Amino acid sequence: VSAASTASWSTQQLTELLSLVSTLPEGADVVQRAVEHTVEAFDGDVGAAIADGEVVASVGYAASSVPEDQLLAAADGATTVLSVPGAGECGVLVVRCDALVGGRLVLGRSLPAEFTSEERSLFRGFARVLSLALEARRALKKERAQRAASEDDALALKQLLETLRERQVLLEQLAALQRSISTRRPLHEVLDAVVAGATSLIGDEVTGLRLIDPDDPEMAVLVASTGLTAEMRDISRRSPTGAGLGGLAISRGALVVEEDYSRGLSPLPTFMVDGVKAAMAAPVRQGEKVVGSLVVATRKQGRRYTTAEQEMLVAFAEHTGLALNDARTVAALNQAVTDATRQARRDPLTNLPNRTHFLETLRESIGEGRPLSILFIDLDDFKLVNDTLGHPIGDALLTVVGERITGSVRGDDVVARLGGDEFAVLLRCTPPHLAEDTAERIRQALTQPFNLPGHHVLIGASTGVVICAEPGDDSAEELLRDADVAMYQAKGKGKGRAVLFAPSMRVDLQARSHLERDLRNAVERHELVLHYQPILDLSVGRVVGSEALLRWLHPELGLVPPAEFIPVAEDTGLILQIGQQVLVDAAVQTARWNADRPDQPLTVSVNVSARQLSDGLLVEHVRTALQVSGLPAPLLTLELTESVLVHDIDLAAEILIELKALGVRLAIDDFGTGYSSLSYLARLPFDILKVDKAFVAGLNRGQTEARLAAAVVALGHSLQLDIVVEGIETAEQLAIMAGIGCSTFQGYLWSPPVPEAAFAELAARTDLPRTARAGRSAGALPVPTPRAHSDAAALLHD
């Protein structure tokens, strides 16, 4: 038997079965026929289908003597050998058949049965095809019944017909795939057929087939795709096996469906930025082994994947595994993965080696045992260039940076771009004692102006240096990380400098990297929770809203302060996912509270980070949060700090105007602590000015602070902004701020941020003292005395 014939044996078998079951006349015993076909296809002797603890179809036994107990035992895995009259001992293969209750298909073949992994896959495929066929039949039956019951139930009918049509499409796509394999099309055409098939089956615009690199199972390669931008393709070409939804499908070995991509399981930042809204991924198997995943995704909002679509993707992925199974394809496939890997070893922008390649080279050098050193170079303020001058200029800059670094080292030293604005140099010719000199030479090269099309750009670079006189103790990854740590120290010391690594630097980083790992887990495990700090309007004497504040309840560390984990979330991009979750959760929770108090609805303020503002999805996320929660837009306030705005004021203005158009309110947070540019305060469409607690804290100290606070409040008023005073901790502070015309407050004087249940109780209180708006002296104010206000705080804490 030639290779080409075994090649497509299983795909062919599956197509034949599919063809058989979809052409069987109505009323035919589909299960019996499928079992029969299965036994014949596998050259088996006996076969059976089990449902609900009974043998519902069997082949190969005399009609009168079907050994029910033996078959049930085989189905349960209690026995792996069937004793068959006339055929002797038969090896057993069992697979689940989901369309039957407790369904199993059992196949027996004379010993030595020697079921190959391809056959196991195929058998699983058969069970799936049978399930599809049974469900299609049920759907048809239902459709008939429905049509009989009510002629006008058009929608349900349409859905059912759609389901039936989809099966037909599946059949056609499988046949097309089959054809491309059997007619020995070049591999890339086969892979394209897989992608085209999935695209046409599911109808989403993005489809990708990722396969695990057999030489490096940690990494997966995108071997075929459609609907991806060139940039996304570059990024996805070779990526960690576990990344994204496709990675989940691989690790779980099961279908993963995410209809809310950015808030869901394991979203890829690139895909979020690209606007992917929903995605599904199914594992691709060879034999028992998951070798990759087939992913479909859409940028359309509100996509819902029907059960039929989910099943079809799984069936098609299953089929894909079989298709890729044969020897010829496997060989070509490995080659393709290797090629893609080789290609993936270079950074497409600068054509320098990438991180993977760099680490490999570093590993080799370590293996040689000669002294070496590593420079880790990170451009200073590159983001600013990118944001202000645009990506094309940013890209051009990176290219020239690569050239300048290369020009500053010796011929056999290796310069790599690790990603973003990070470069690394492996000095294997340069003696270690010259490493710092080299770093300095590079620094100087990079501080020269860059003449880019239409722009002269000045940047700098921070460099971490690791010198390794006797390589061997540390791995390549560890050395590079050390260089990274040293680079961070350099940044911390004020940019534009080089710092030599010292072991003590590691400790900080480790803590941070643990934090990063834990934070990722925390997002998946919902350890991040919102606490709500009441905002009171003393002119009406009640809680009018809250500020939602993120808290992380770490299983070991307890409550982690936001100041510790928010920067990590920002750096890793997790903030995007977290930010969106916060928006939705806060809106949903507030809407829930408001359902019980229709006359006095609460507002909720949510903080927005710079990353969220620049990722382009904020408006969409806010809209989603409002839709999901049903919270009226004016009740949602977005708080932005000055630092968030200054990066790109034009972009910020654009987004804020869009947000205003949604009807939400915008608050400027921490005003007066940073740049405090009056021009943008006037220019941007803010509704609320929050007086920072830094002003409030100073109030106790004297008149100057009080005047400053008064000036800020007056400024707010003159711009017709509402004023909310933050950080009120004492009655005295309250008295002063009330004295200058403020009535809306938040602070520990009443309550710290508290969990939702506690907040609900606070918000229900109606016995808060009202401020006398005109009151001037503390004594005249109905403000709690120091003793009394601690009581009030206690009261509010309850």
Binding footprint of other proteins on the chain (CB under 8 A): 1-2, 4-5, 8-9, 12-13, 15-16, 18-20, 36, 39-47, 59-65, 84-87, 109-110, 174-175, 178-179, 182-184
Nearer to other proteins, 59 or 560 (CB): 59
C-beta of 6 vs 338, nearer to other proteins: 6
Contacts of 505 (CB under 8 A, 6+ apart): 482, 485, 486, 488, 489
> CA triplet 198, 278, 213: central angle to 5 degrees?
55
User: Considering beta carbons, is residue 13 or 266 the nearer one to other proteins?
Assistant: 13
Residue 567: asked if its preceding bond is cis (omega within 30°), the reply is: no
Tell the smallest beta-carbon distance from residue 64 to other proteins (Å): 8
DSSP string, 486-506: HHHHHHHTTSS-EEE--THHH
CB of residue 334 vs other proteins: minimum separation in angstroms? 24
Q: How far is the CB of 118 from other proteins (least distance, A)?
A: 10
Quote the least distance from Cβ 87 to other proteins, whole Å.
Answer: 4
As measured in angstroms, the least distance from the Cβ of 256 to other proteins is: 29
Q: What token pair was written down for 175?
A: 């046949």
DSSP 281-309: EEEEEETTEEEEEEEEEE--TT----HHH
At residue 723, φ and ψ (nearest 5 deg) are: -115, 130
Angle between helices 574-595 and 562-572 (to 10 degrees): 120
Dihedral sign from CA coordinates of 537, 542, 545, 550: positive
Q: How far is the CB of 355 from other proteins (least distance, A)?
A: 44
Q: Smallest gap, in angstroms, from Cβ of residue 285 to other proteins?
A: 20
647-to-252, 384, 388, 588, 652 alpha-carbon distances in Å: 41, 7, 8, 31, 8
Helix (H, G, I), strand (E, B) or coil at 786: helix
Residue whose CB is less far from other proteins, 9 or 271: 9
- 5 vs 444, beta carbon nearer other proteins: 5
User: Alpha-carbon distance 500 to 564, whole Å?
Assistant: 26
Rounded Cα distance between 744 and 540, Å, is 10
Whether the upstream peptide bond of residue 269 has omega within 30° of 0, thus cis, is no
Tell me how far, at minimum, the Cβ of 318 lies from other proteins, in Å: 16
Closest CA to 37 of 67, 63, 8, 13: 13
What spatial distance separates the first Cα and last Cα of the chain, rounded to whole Å? 81
Q: Minimum distance from CB of 18 to other proteins (Å)?
A: 7
Between 176 and 588, CB nearer to other proteins: 176
Residue whose CB is less far from other proteins, 175 or 684:
175
Determine the Cα–Cα distance for residues 193 and 91; give it in Å rounded to an integer.
Answer: 36
Compute the CA torsion angle 378, 383, 385, 387 (nearest 10 deg). Answer: 170
Q: Kindly state the DSSP code that residue 227 receives in the 8-state scheme.
A: S
3-state DSSP assignment of residue 547: strand
| Least distance CB 464 / other proteins (angstroms) | 60
- Nearest approach in angstroms of CB 172 to other proteins is 10
Nearer to other proteins among residue 62 and residue 148 (C-beta): 62
Question: What angle (nearest 5°) sits at the alpha carbon of residue 726, between those of residues 720 and 729?
Answer: 140
Shortest distance (Å) from residue 328 CB to other proteins: 13
- Region label for 672, one of left (φ > 0), alpha (ψ between -120 and 50) or beta (otherwise): left
Q: Is 468 helix (H, G, I), strand (E, B) or coil?
A: strand
Do 484 and 493 meet the contact criterion of CB atoms below 8 Å apart? Answer: no
**CB closer to other proteins out of 61 and 358:** 61
* Identity at 333, one-letter amino acid code: L
State the minimum distance, in angstroms, from the CB of residue 47 to other proteins: 8
| Nearest CB to other proteins, comparing residues 47 and 545 | 47
**Which CB sits closer to other proteins, 40 or 791?**
40
Contact present, 265 and 254 (Cβ < 8 Å): no
Q: In the complex with other proteins, which residue's Cβ is closer, 11 or 733?
A: 11
Using the minimum distance from each CB to other proteins, give the nearer residue, 22 or 513: 22
Helix (H, G, I), strand (E, B) or coil at 363: helix
Q: Is 747 helix (H, G, I), strand (E, B) or coil?
A: coil
Q: Could you give the C-alpha distances from 425 to 362, 381, 411, in angstroms and in order?
A: 10, 20, 12
Q: Which is nearer to other proteins, 1 or 774 (CB)?
A: 1
Contacts of 384 (CB under 8 A, 6+ apart): 647
What the block records as the tokens of 747 is 């602070």
In the complex, minimum distance from the CB of residue 70 to other proteins, in angstroms, rounded to a whole number = 13
